[in-house]
């Protein structure tokens, strides 16, 4: 099964983007009559037959569409971008594979990086989407911590913050997560500032631990994806 | 807290390796009288005071030793090395952070790679060990699949195999893991061969799923580390 990405697959005939066309016809050597799959990254997976196969413009006819069910527990990870961007790109790839609905790169007081190449991140997310054959591309944004936190006060969801020096807080895996959205804050390498932590407390964020190891920023972020993936697959 | 690695920390005075000495004195600018921590990667974490601080030879005096408790559920991941070795190096770094006791790189029928630079992998594992401030360096080996499987028949442990096309097998996260060792087999990009799967079945390996997504080899391997880490932290 080979999955391609296209934002508009509602109409009966779809023209793949030049990039996807090249991948389909040149790299994968697909021909007229071959069956491929398309996703809009928005929950729809479509089966399609190739009607025109040129490297610049591959045209397909949609045979059937299927809506992939959303997860019961949906995860929004707000993480401070690491100094080394490779680590964030790795997190984006892996989190799309394992499952994530939204990623916010939050710029914190101790952030060692304030710029994120969203276009590049988007490309990485899309290729992970195709690779893992899922139909859900996470929403991705870059946003200032305080501004982000003010917005969260309007959102109804389970709110958690993981930071290094917390002592007696509970394990995230032991949390009873109800269906709906879970928002997890992961701090920068220099950790959250005191102000940032008290702001989170004042907004009702619960401090939790992600295992008893000291995890890097990107590892902590992915660990929270694994916890939510498991809670979604655990029986009963 | 800064952790260094040394295989012999039983004696009262320890001379760091030239590499570790350089890291301690040149990079981190540690001086005589400073306190550092040493681990042998074998469960011992020691607090030590620097008595000689030269970039080629840093000498420390051990103040106290602490044995870090082993995990109740210990994980041995046997994974076929990926064609792109970066992905395996990433897995080693992350699995040491999250927790793993043993890694076996198994050479399978469909393996796209039969060579692994164990020295380089070892260096990556050690730097992850220091970074995550744990005291347990996993045992790492490269071994032929059939030979490895014959050995496992002698080992008393929970035995699992994850492969792509399995249909009705259960979720690993729903397994009741008892204290002791768990052995997880993760196949190559081209998946296990029929022969390899039947050999595993004949040796009592249980087929399980790692979530309902299609995960890359290294992602599946890390996901199993996360499941075991969580089972070790779940209450009761």
- The complex's ipTM works out to 0.88
For position A235, what pLDDT does the model report?
65
Query: How many structural domains does chain B have?
Result: 2
Task: Report chain B residues whose CB lies below 8 A from the CB of A214.
Answer: 97, 131-134
List chain A residues with CB under 8 Å of B132. Answer: 213-216
State which residues form the domain around B22. Answer: 3-67
- Looking at the structure, do residues B102 and B55 belong to the same domain, yes or no? no
Mark whether A38 and A127 lie in a shared domain: no
pLDDT band with cut points at 50, 70 and 90 for residue B38: very high
Would you say B5 and B20 are in contact if contact means Cβ atoms under 8 Å apart?
A: yes
Pair A118, A205 in one domain: yes
Non-local (6+) Cβ contacts of B117 within 8 A are: B85
Q: Is A222 found in the same domain as A178?
A: yes
List the CATH number of the domain containing B29. 2.40.240.20
Whether residue B98 is predicted with pLDDT greater than 90 in this model: the reply is yes
Nearest CB to B213 within list A134, A219, A222? A134
Tokens found for residue A28: 């994968």
β-partners of residue A120 are none
Boundary of a domain, candidates A67, A99, A114: A67
pLDDT tops 70 at residue A236: no
Least Cα distance to A79 among A88, A70, A71 occurs for: A88
Which chain A residues have a beta carbon less than 8 Å from that of B219? 94, 97-98
Distance CA A80, CA A145 (A): 9
Q: What is the CATH number of the domain that holds A206?
A: 3.40.1280.10
**B133 with B205, same domain?**
yes
Asked if residues A55 and A25 have their Cβ atoms less than 8 Å apart, the reply is yes
pLDDT band at B232 (very low <50, low <70, confident <90, very high): very high
Give the count of beta carbons closer than 10 Å to the beta carbon of residue A97: 26
pTM, two decimals, is: 0.91
**Looking at the predicted structure, is the pLDDT value of residue A163 above 90?**
no
**With 70 as the cut, is the pLDDT of residue B236 above it?**
no
Sheet with B44-54, strands from edge to edge, namely B3-5, B35-39, B44-54, B57-67, B13-15
| Whole-number pLDDT of residue B211 | 84
Residue A113 DSSP code: -
B226 Cβ under 8 Å from any chain A Cβ: yes
Encoding tokens for residue A18? 């030049």
* Domain identity same for A54 and A133: no
pLDDT tens per residue across span A174-205: 999 999 999 999 999 888 999 999 999 999 99
pLDDT in tens, B151-192: 998 888 999 999 877 677 889 999 999 999 999 999 998 889
A233 vs B219: CB contact, 8 Å cut-off? no
Tokens 């030269």, located at residue: B54
Which of B67, B89, B120 terminates a domain? The answer is B67
pLDDT at residue A46 above 70? yes
Final residue belonging to a domain, choices B19, B50, B67? B67
Q: Give dist(CA B28, CA B47) in Å, integer.
A: 17
**Are the beta carbons of A160 and A205 closer than 8 angstroms?**
yes
Nearest residue in B to A90, CA atom: B90
What is d(CA A153, CA B222) in angstroms, rounded to the nearest whole number? 34
Given pLDDT bands bounded at 50, 70 and 90, which one contains residue B235?
low
Q: Which of B97, B214, B235 sits opposite A213 (nearest CB)?
A: B97
> d(Cα A40, Cα A133) in Å, to the nearest integer?
12
Question: Does A67 score more than 70 pLDDT?
Answer: yes
Beta partners for B13?
Answer: B61
DSSP state of B176: -
Indicate the helix (H) or strand (E) that contains B79: strand B73-79
């Amino acid at each position: 099964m080979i999955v391609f990405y296209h934002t508009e697959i509602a109409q009966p005939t779809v023209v793949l983007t030049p990039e996807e066309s090249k991948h389909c016809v040149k790299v994968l050597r697909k021909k007229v009559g071959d069956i491929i799959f398309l996703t809009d990254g928005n929950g729809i997976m479509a089966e399609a037959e190739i009607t025109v196969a040129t490297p610049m413009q591959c045209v397909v006819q949609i045979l059937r569409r299927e809506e992939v069910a959303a997860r019961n527990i949906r995860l929004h990870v707000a993480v401070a971008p690491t100094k080394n961007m490779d680590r964030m790109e790795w997190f984006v790839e892996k989190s799309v594979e394992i499952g994530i609905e939204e990623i916010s790169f939050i710029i914190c007081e101790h952030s060692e990086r304030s710029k994120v190449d969203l276009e590049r991140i988007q490309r990485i997310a899309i290729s992970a989407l195709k690779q893992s054959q899922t139909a859900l591309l996470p929403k991705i944004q870059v946003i200032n911590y305080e501004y982000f936190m003010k917005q969260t006060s309007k959102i109804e969801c389970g709110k958690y913050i993981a930071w290094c020096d917390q002592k007696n807080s509970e394990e995230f895996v032991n949390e009873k997560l109800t269906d709906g959205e879970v928002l997890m804050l992961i701090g920068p390498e220099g950790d959250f500032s005191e102000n940032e932590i008290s702001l989170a407390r004042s907004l009702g964020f619960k401090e939790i631990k992600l295992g008893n190891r000291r995890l890097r920023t990107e590892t902590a972020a992915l660990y929270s994806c694994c916890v939510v993936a498991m809670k979604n697959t655990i029986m009963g």
